[in-house]
C-alpha cells in the first residue's frame, strides 16, 4: 500500500517504539580500544593530534585498562613504542620487548577479565618506519614474514589473546598460523588486517606510534583506495590461510567494503575506525561546529550497520559511557 494508508512516520513518533524496531544496536561488547605503551614509569605523553589519548608506560597502561573495564570495555589493541629501533623490527620479537611486558602486566592484574589483541607489524620498531625488511629500497615480502612470525609467537607466549597482523605482506597469515600451531598455540585466533588501505586517515596514528616512514610511502603493500574487488581477493586469501577474523581499515570511507565483506564471507568482521576519523570529529567539536557525542554515535552506528561485528575505535570509552547512561 502507499500513502495515505501507509505512513512510515507512525513508527517514529514514540521513542520507545523507535528503539523497539531499531535495526542496528551498539553494545560495549562490540568495542576494542587501541592503546599505546611506552618505556618508563609514570609516563603519560599526550598525543597532540588525538585529544584524550596518550603514550602510557606499563604502570599507567594497566590503570587505563582498569578504567576501561569499569565502563564495560573489555578488549584492547596494543601498540608499542620501543626504547630503540633496528633495521628489521627484531626489537619487537623478544621476551622483554615493550608489548610483551605490557601483556604480562595486564594479565597479572586482570587475568581473563580483559581481552588483549596484539598488533603485529614492524613500522613502530624499524629505523626507517616501513613495515618490513628493506632490500634495494623496497620492503622484501618474504624476509619480513620471518620477523612477523617470530614477533607473533613471542606475543602469544606473553599471553596475547588474539594476534593481529597489520603489515599487509603476502602470505603472513599462513606463516603466523604455522608458527603458532607448531608451538602449542593452535587455540590463539588471528585477526588479520585483510583489507588495509593506503589511506590519508592514518596521520595522527603515526605521531602516536612514532611510525612515519622515513622515505617513500606504503602504497606498494597497502591497498589502493580505488579497489573493491581486490579487497575481496585479499580477504579470501587470508581466510584460506587461517584468519579467524578479518578486518577492514579504515572504516568510515570504506563502509561499502565492510558491507561487501559481510555479504560475501561467513566470518566475523572487524572494522578499524582510525585516528584521522577520530581526530576530525574532535577538531570539529573543539571549534563548536558539531555535536561531538551525536556524531560519534552516528559514525559508530553506520559502521555496525554496514556489517562490522567488532569495532576498533579511539572513542570506545566515550561510547561506553554514553551506552551506560541509556
Distance between CA atoms of residues 101 and 232, nearest Å: 36
> Do the beta carbons of residue 287 and residue 222 sit within 8 Å?
no
User: Nearest to residue 83, comparing CAs of 37, 150, 35?
Assistant: 37
Distances (CA, A) of 45 to 5, 63, 115, 186, 281: 60, 15, 24, 37, 21
Distance between CA atoms of residues 83 and 39, nearest Å: 6
In the structure, how many helices (H) and strands (E) does the chain have? Answer: 11, 12
Place of cell 579504515: 250
Distance between CA atoms of residues 91 and 117, nearest Å: 19
Distance between CA atoms of residues 284 and 316, nearest Å: 19
DSSP state of 237: H
Torsion sign, CA atoms 80, 235, 152, 217: negative
107, 150, 196, 304: the catalytic one is 196
Other CB atoms closer than 10 Å to residue 114's CB: what's the count? 19
Helix, strand, coil shares of the chain as percentages rounded to 5? 45, 20, 35
User: Nearest to residue 278, comparing CAs of 304, 314, 318, 305?
Assistant: 314
**196 catalytic residue (yes or no):** yes
Element (H, E) at 75: strand 75-80
55 strand-pairing partners: 36, 45
**249 catalytic residue (yes or no):** yes
74, 150, 174, 249: the catalytic one is 249
Please work out, in degrees rounded to the nearest 5, the angle formed at the alpha carbon of residue 150 by the alpha carbons of 147 and 155: 125
Distances (CA, A) of 273 to 112, 212, 255: 25, 19, 11
Could you give the residue numbers annotated as active site?
196, 249
Amino acid at each position: 500500500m502507499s500513502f495515505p494508508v501507509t505512513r512510515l512516520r507512525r513508527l517514529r513518533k514514540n521513542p520507545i517504539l523507535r528503539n523497539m524496531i531499531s535495526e542496528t544496536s551498539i553494545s560495549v561488547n562490540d568495542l576494542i580500544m587501541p592503546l599505546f605503551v611506552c618505556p618508563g614509569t609514570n609516563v603519560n605523553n599526550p598525543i597532540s593530534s588525538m585529544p584524550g589519548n596518550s603514550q602510557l608506560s606499563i604502570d599507567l597502561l594497566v590503570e587505563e585498562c582498569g578504567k576501561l573495564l569499569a565502563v564495560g570495555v573489555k578488549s584492547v589493541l596494543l601498540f608499542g613504542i620501543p626504547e630503540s629501533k633496528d633495521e628489521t623490527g627484531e626489537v619487537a620479537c623478544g621476551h622483554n620487548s615493550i608489548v610483551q611486558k605490557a601483556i604480562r602486566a595486564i594479565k597479572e592484574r586482570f587475568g581473563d577479565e580483559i581481552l588483549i589483541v596484539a598488533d603485529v607489524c614492524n613500522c613502530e620498531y624499524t629505523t626507517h618506519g616501513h613495515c618490513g625488511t628493506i632490500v634495494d629500497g623496497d620492503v622484501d615480502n618474504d624476509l619480513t614474514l620471518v620477523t612477523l612470525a617470530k614477533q607473533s609467537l613471542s606475543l602469544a607466549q606473553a599471553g596475547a589473546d588474539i594476534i593481529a597482523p597489520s603489515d599487509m605482506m603476502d602470505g603472513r597469515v599462513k606463516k603466523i598460523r604455522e608458527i603458532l600451531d607448531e608451538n602449542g598455540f593452535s587455540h590463539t585466533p588471528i585477526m588479520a588486517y585483510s583489507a588495509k588501505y593506503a589511506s590519508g586517515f592514518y596521520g595522527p596514528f603515526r605521531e602516536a606510534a612514532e611510525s612515519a616512514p622515513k622515505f617513500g610511502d606504503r602504497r606498494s603493500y597497502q591497498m589502493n583506495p580505488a579497489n573493491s574487488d581486490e579487497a575481496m581477493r585479499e580477504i579470501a586469501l587470508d581466510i584460506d590461510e587461517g584468519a579467524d577474523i578479518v578486518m577492514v581499515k579504515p572504516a568510515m570511507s570504506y563502509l561499502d567494503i565492510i558491507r561487501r565483506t559481510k555479504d560475501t564471507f561467513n566470518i566475523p568482521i572487524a572494522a578499524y575506525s582510525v585516528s584521522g576519523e577520530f581526530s576530525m570529529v574532535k577538531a570539529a567539536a573543539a571549534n563548536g561546529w558539531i555535536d561531538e557525542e551525536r556524531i560519534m554515535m552516528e559514525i559508530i552506528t553506520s559502521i555496525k550497520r554496514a556489517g562490522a561485528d567488532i569495532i576498533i575505535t579511539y572513542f570506545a570509552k566515550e561510547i561506553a559511557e554514553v551506552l551506560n547512561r541509556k
